[in-house]
Amino acid sequence: QQQVKQSPQSLIVQKGGISIINCAYENTAFDYFPWYQQFPGKGPALLIAIRPDVSEKKEGRFTISFNKSAKQFSLHIMDSQPGDSATYFCAANKGGNKLVFGAGTILRVKS
């Protein structure tokens, strides 16, 4: 029940395209759903986060869509750029406690 399942494992997108990464969870007590971005040789960094009281959150080219009934959330990267090439992790937690991370998605944006 603590798992967060992330897909796909890897993704190749053309420059200017839309990148979509999906996550699913089981624990309905989770109340915070962040996405982290990690570049090679660096630590993960918070990209965008959402709470279950809203269905969508947008920050620039990055959007989280949240479906509470399906227990799924996804990251959409609009107008993907080569600089977006990185590993993306979804995560979830309950009440400020430890984060449960997905397995990660390696995104490559081809120029």
Partner 1 sequence: DAGVIQSPRHEVTEMGQEVTLRCKPISGHNSLFWYRQTMMRGLELLIYFNNNVPIDDSGMPEDRFSAKMPNASFSTLKIQPSEPRDSAVYFCASSTSDTQYFGPGTRLTVL
47 sits near partner 1 (criterion: CB under 8 A): no
Residue 24 CA to residue 102 CA, distance in Å, equals: 9
Kindly state the greatest CA–CA separation across the chain. 41
* Listed ranges 17-25, 32-40, 63-71, 76-84: which one lies at the site for partner 1 (CB under 8 A): 32-40
Nearest residue to 108 via CA among 18, 11, 7, 6: 11
Q: Which two tokens stand for residue 8?
A: 């796909």
Using the rule CB under 8 A, which residue among 19, 21, 25, 44 binds partner 1?
44
Q: Given the rule CB under 8 A, which residues bind partner 1?
A: 32, 34, 36, 41-46, 49, 89, 93, 96, 98-99, 101, 103-104
